[in-house]
Every structure is written in structure tokens, then in C-alpha cells.
Amino acid sequence: MQKEFDTGLVWFRRDLRANDNTALSVALQRCVRVHCAFIFDRAILDNLPRTDRRVEFIRESLVELDATLRAITGKAQAGLIVQHGFSTELIPKLAMSLGAQAVFTATDYEPQAIARDATVRHALAAQSAEFFTLKDHVIFERRELLTQTGKPYGVFTPYMRAWLARLGETPPLRNATEPFASAIAERPIAYVSAVPKLETLGFSSTNLKALAIQPGADGATKLLEDFWDRMDDYDQTRNFPSVKGPSYLGVHLRFGTVSIRQLVGLALQRKLAGSAGATVWLAELVWRDFYFQVLSNFPHVAQNAFKPEYDQIIWEQGSRAQTLFAAWCQGATGYPLVDAAMAQLNQTGYMHNRLRMVAGSFLVKHLGLDWRWGEKYFAEKLNDFDLSANNGGWQWVSSSGCDAQPYFRIFNPITQSEKFDAQGKFIKRYVPQLAGLSAKSVHAPWLSKQLELTAAGIELGRDYPMPIVDHAEARSLTLQRYGVVRKKPQTSTAVEQ
């Protein structure tokens, strides 16, 4: 069968795998020869800290991807073309240099990415080359799922019902690449070079290896194999940060070293077999799609509250706000579970999902700080940072987003600690100065007897801070602060969770 294009270029971005890769699969079937490229985009990298685990994760994943492309073709020079610069300039130049009539890439739904792609599309059109963006890292995108009135969903449960109904009982189709791999072309001599080292890019090595985070598709496969044996218990284990409950695949989903279609297919398989754990995990994957469609259909959420009235809230400002924020960032709030969560984030780039809710709620509803401050901090620290999910999560805890918790629901960090870290194992791991306290006292050290504090070698204010806010007072202030969005008197008083 005659192919549509003589030469194509696949632009890898957040799909760093050869297997089940939509852009690669489509390009191989539509082009006689295909070149593969990745751009270390300065528009993104220039704003990052110089020791960023994500850059190291990407770099190591590219090394593996480069080797995989050569392996599946049997061609020694059929790997990745990797460049460092601005993609809006380099992709059109690369396409022209290679004689590509078409560029294929995975769709990115973030506002800045959409603007970037519009610039690239325009530049390619000027040189008579086509630009194809293809759905890859979600199951359903944009307006594929709509309410009966033809509007995008703003509530999760009916969205999930529609999502599951559309999916049915058949796993999502995956995109074959290896049967067509012979179309991957060897790189011109000018582009034959190894993936740049971190130092060449202006970055330094991190503690990625010490954390036992293995990048690339091989790393994702090992995690998935491990989780497969634990998936049935996910519904029972997922809320306890000291228990090995989550899949830990977040960073792999973020950078596409694993296929969402593969994960949904596996979860669906176990769900249909009656697994409660797989059913809950599949719902978590649906949440991921939900937040992507929210960002696509309501792009204002990237800057403002989904519910406009919540932008009327007056947050803490000035030096007091800065002091409170610094304490939260440093894990020095005096609330052990919050501080342990922040320590985990700062040390590892990971935070357990339950703790994201607790720490986020504390910032907004105890400290009275703008949720956007926390969103920005997480964006800098999280290995698996994804704008849609991060924004959705922060708007959820602030009650300003889609299907968010009501403003009068306020997480009590002490009861959350007692419920989800009853023995204090997680707290004692990340706040080791509290290791000598009993399981009862570790959740609120300031309520402990002086004798126990002394025996544990703890002087509050020296070894561990006193609480920077009082829970009851903070709750009261939050209800006052959120009064501007109250449409009618609430029958409920503040509800603690």
C-alpha cells in the first residue's frame, strides 16, 4: 500500500516509550521513513532548579528509548535525535533539514503547550509541512464525553459513569509499533550523537538512584509487575502512607514511560473479575482523565478558580502569610502528619495522595493561604507534577474546583493522623525527632505530658515546633473567610474529617 508521506518526524514529548505510542505508530504507517526526535525545551527547562529529578528522569528515559528504537529496527543509527533549545524554533528547522513533510506528536492539553504547538504548526505550514497532534496519554479527551445537554462535565461521578459506559468491557485498543519499525530511518550523520549529559544541559545529578526510582519503560514495567500482585488490596491499603499501597506509577504516567491504555486494560480485566481494589484503582485513572478534560474545556482554571465566586476570598497577605507559608514548605507547622508529608515531598519528590489532601487542606483552611501558592510549590517539587491533576487537586481542597469538597469540610490534621498513621510509623520516619514518643502522643506532641517529652529528648520550640495555628481558631476563621461564597445559610456547621 502506498504511503501518504515520504518522510515524517515523530516529536516525543510526554510519551517516552516505543511501545503503544500513538504518534510513532501513526507515523510509521503513514510515512515511508520516520525520524524520531526529542527537544530539551528551554522554554520549560530554563525555569527549573538546577537539581531537578524530573530532568534526570527524562534524560535516563531517553537513553533507554534511544536504545529501544535501535533494537526494534536492527539499525545501528536509528535512534533519537536529541537537541537542546526552543522547540518552536528547532522542530521546524529539523523538519526542513530532514525533508519531513509531516510532524507527528502526542496532544498536550496545557494552555502553554497549546500556544507552543500553534506556533510550531504555523512555522511548519510556511514550509509546506503538516502537523498532527494525536491523543495518547488519556482515554477520552476534550469533548469526547459530554452531558445530555451537550456540555463538558463538572462533576466526577456522572463523568465516571459516562466514561465507563463508553469504555464498556473491552480494553482500549493499543497502538502497534514493532510490526512497522522498519520504517524508522537511520539518522543523518550530523544528528548521530549520544543523549546529552545532565551537565551539558546545565543540570546536576539528583538523588534519583538513591530513591530507587528507575526511569524508562523498564522501570515502569517493574513497578507494574509489583503492583499487579497488590492491586486487589488497593482499596484497603491506598490511604495509609506507611503501607505499600499505591502503584507509584505517577511519574511514569506523567512522562509516558507507561501507556495509559495498558493500565486501564489491566485494571478493567481485574475489575471484571470482581476485584474491589482494581475497581477503585480504575476510578483513580478516570479521575486523571477527568482533570485533563476540565483543563481542556475550562482553561481558566490554570489561573483562576473553576467557580468564579471563590476568587472573591481574601487570603492572608503580608509578612505573616510569608512566615506561615515558609513553615509549611519546610515542614515546620507543629502538626506532625503535615510536617512528615512535606518532608517526604522535599526529600523525595513524592507525596502520598492522602497526604496531598491533608497538607493542601492545611495550607488553605488552617493557614488561610491562597491555594495557588501551594499549587506552585508542588509544581516545583513533585516528580509526577502534571498541571491538570495538580490544579484539580488544589482546587478540590480549596473547595473552588470541580466536584470539590464543600468549603465547610475541614480536615483535622490530628484525627487524620490518628486514622491513617495510627502507630505513627510514617511520622517517625520523616520527623525522626519525634521517634521517641508513643503512638498516642506522636500525633499532637504539645498535648503530651512533660515527663514523656523529656524522656523522648524533646523540648517543644527547640526540637520540634509548637503548632503555628490553633485548629479550632483556624476552623472558625476559615468559615468566616469562605462566607463570601455562601449563597444561603448552611444547615451544617464545620465538619471535621
Please count the other Cβ atoms lying within 10 Å of the Cβ belonging to residue 168. 8
Question: Which one of 141, 315, 316, 418 is the catalytic residue?
Answer: 315
- The number of angstroms, rounded, from the C-alpha of 365 to the middle of its chain's C-alpha atoms is 23
Among 59, 15, 9, 63, CA closest to 36: 9
Catalytic residue, candidates 281, 328, 373, 394: 394
Are 73 and 117 in contact, with CB atoms under 8 Å apart? Answer: no
The C-alpha angle 283, 286, 290, rounded to 5 degrees, equals: 135
User: Which residue out of 284, 316, 418, 452 is catalytically annotated?
Assistant: 284
- As a whole number of Å, the end-to-end CA separation of the chain is 62
Catalytic residue among 371, 383, 390, 391: 371
353 is annotated as an active-site residue:
yes
CB < 8 Å & 24+ apart, contacts of 240-247: 240/354, 240/420, 240/421, 241/340, 241/341, 241/344, 241/352, 241/354, 241/355, 241/420, 241/421, 241/426, 242/421, 242/423, 242/425, 242/426, 242/429, 246/352, 246/353, 247/223, 247/281
Q: How far, in Å, CA of 330 to CA of 247, rounded?
A: 27
Residue 318: CB atoms within 10 A of its CB come to: 7
Q: Note the helical H segments in 305-460.
A: 318-330, 336-348, 353-365, 371-381, 387-397, 413-420, 425-430, 450-455
CB under 8 Å to 487, separation ≥6 — which residues? none
Catalytic residue (choose from 11, 163, 281, 287) = 287
> What is the rounded distance in angstroms from the CA atom of residue 23 to the CA atom of residue 6?
16
Of residues 346, 353, 418, 446, which has the active-site annotation? 353
From the number of C-beta atoms within 10 Å of its C-beta (0-12, 13-18, 19+), residue 182 rates as middle
What length is written for the chain? Answer: 497
Separation of alpha carbons 458 and 467, rounded Å: 15
Q: Dihedrals φ, ψ of 106, to 5°?
A: -75, 140
Please indicate whether residue 4 is annotated as part of the active site.
no
Amino acid in the structure at residue 368: G
Residue 328 known to be catalytic = no
Q: Give me the active site residues, please.
A: 284, 287, 315, 353, 371, 394
